[in-house]
Amino acid sequence: MTKDANAPIQGSFRTAREAIDWIVRFIPMTGIKLGLERMEKLMELLDYPHRRLKFIHVAGTNGKGSVCAYLTETIRQAGYDVGTFTSPYIETFHERIRLNGENISDEDLLQVVNKIKPLIDEVAAEYGQPSMFEISTVIAIEYFARTAYPDFVVWETGLGGRLDSTNIVSPLVSVITNIGHDHMDYLGDSLASIAAEKAGIIKAGVPVISAVEQPEALQAIEDKAAEKKSKVYLLGREFHLETVASVEGEQTFHFEGLFRRIPNVSISMNGPHQVKNAAVALMTLEVLRQYYALIVDDEDLYRAMRTTSWPGRLEKVSDNPRIVIDGAHNPEGAEALAVSLTTTYKYRKLHFMMGMLAGKNHSGYFRHILPIVDTLILTEPNWHKKASAADLAAIARTMLAELGRDQVEVIIEPDWKTAFERTKELTAQDDLAVVSGTLYLMGDIRSWIKHQSDSEKGW
């Protein structure tokens, strides 16, 4: 028997802080749990709230957050209410769930968590404890369906696609940004197997937009789309881009799709990869415009693309010294970062601070970064699965010797605050400092800079 989803439930938590503490306690306890059995039961107990919403489902190895940001900002500036679900958060849990760019409020979060907790406990008793991400996904669905009522929901996968908890939904359109080597312990040891897992978000007859380039990965996506009778819109085939200009803080490109041409689109996010992300978002909007009557005036479109930003992606956090942070944490992300640093930025010396999680392809990451750095500062994020700074240094020194770059100074400083201060001290006026690696470190750095700024102002 289905419970009355609207019936009042005695609250378990008195504050949003208590609710969040309960949610995040399951990160080390349950880890990553793939599969939809628990989500399906929770949706049944809540009377299927996900069926009330129009989703844009975004998967891929890199670029998901940026594509979600472009989509959210454009749809919002076009006059619609838009919900956004992304992960991980940078500074606060509330960032995962947003309405029109604003984080979910403490009051709404507390209300939803108190409603779903008894159902989480019920499902845990029968199917095993839902993970932190599964709980977060349920919170987002319930909040959007019965509190926020957005016209569209921009919906980012957590890990993979086929067995990801977000895959409980049937979207208007699916997006697979790109395929790279990440989470291989869960998704498989080849690009084809990783792509097949991400292609699991493709639903029957639902169009797919992608910028996947590798033939074996693209074939896996095409095979799944053919099985589902879904049309694939591929960058370089159904839509194209031509970069016109690229300087720090502004890139301009022409977009050419099946339905129309959009010339001289400007974006403020840096790096050639962001032009691709923007083009993927534009093609997604074009499909929604063509088949689902989305109305976006060109004036709103151009303004939204130009003003879209996304924290932790080549984000300048200091002018003196000049520091940018970027959450590149896998080989493909490192490659995109290295290209951006060598084509967009000008500097005398490059001081590179990084902290990573364990279990990542650190050698693959270093392969792209070590040829361009002058100083390497290795630290550790404040996270339970952190990689040892000393272990990273051993890998880096071996690779630097192979590259004939023994002159590169390698600094080991496990405390990230001390490492950051050291990085700032090393960065002269004409230099550039980059902090990169796991997004958990990016969040800590952003919060620390804000805290220091507020302290200087006496707040």
Provide the edge-to-edge strand list for the sheet that holds 322-326. 315-319, 322-326, 432-437, 350-355, 375-380, 409-415
Q: Which residues have CB under 8 Å from 200's CB, separation 6+?
A: 160, 161, 162, 163, 164, 167, 224
Q: What is residue 189's predicted lDDT score, i.e. its pLDDT?
A: 79
Q: Considering only CA atoms, which of 278, 337, 338, 269 is closest in space to residue 307?
A: 269
Sheet-wide strand order for 173-176: 102-103, 97-99, 82-85, 152-156, 55-59, 173-176, 208-210, 232-234
Tokens of 24: 């995040």
Task: Kindly give the pairing relationship between strand 322-326 and strand 432-437.
Answer: parallel
Could you give phi then psi for residue 98, rounded to 5 degrees?
-135, 150
pLDDT at site 455: 58
pLDDT for 185: 64
Is beta strand 375-380 parallel, antiparallel or unpaired with respect to 409-415?
A: parallel
**What is residue 91's predicted lDDT score, i.e. its pLDDT?**
87
Determine the pLDDT at residue 187. Answer: 79
For residue 447, the model assigns a pLDDT of 87
What was the pLDDT predicted at 182? Answer: 73
- The pLDDT of residue 452 is 75
List the structure tokens of 39: 């989500």
Beta bridge partner(s), residue 313: none
Low-confidence ranges of the chain (pLDDT < 70): 1-11, 29-30, 183-186, 453-459
**Phi/psi zone of residue 66: left (φ > 0), alpha (ψ -120 to 50 degrees), beta?**
alpha
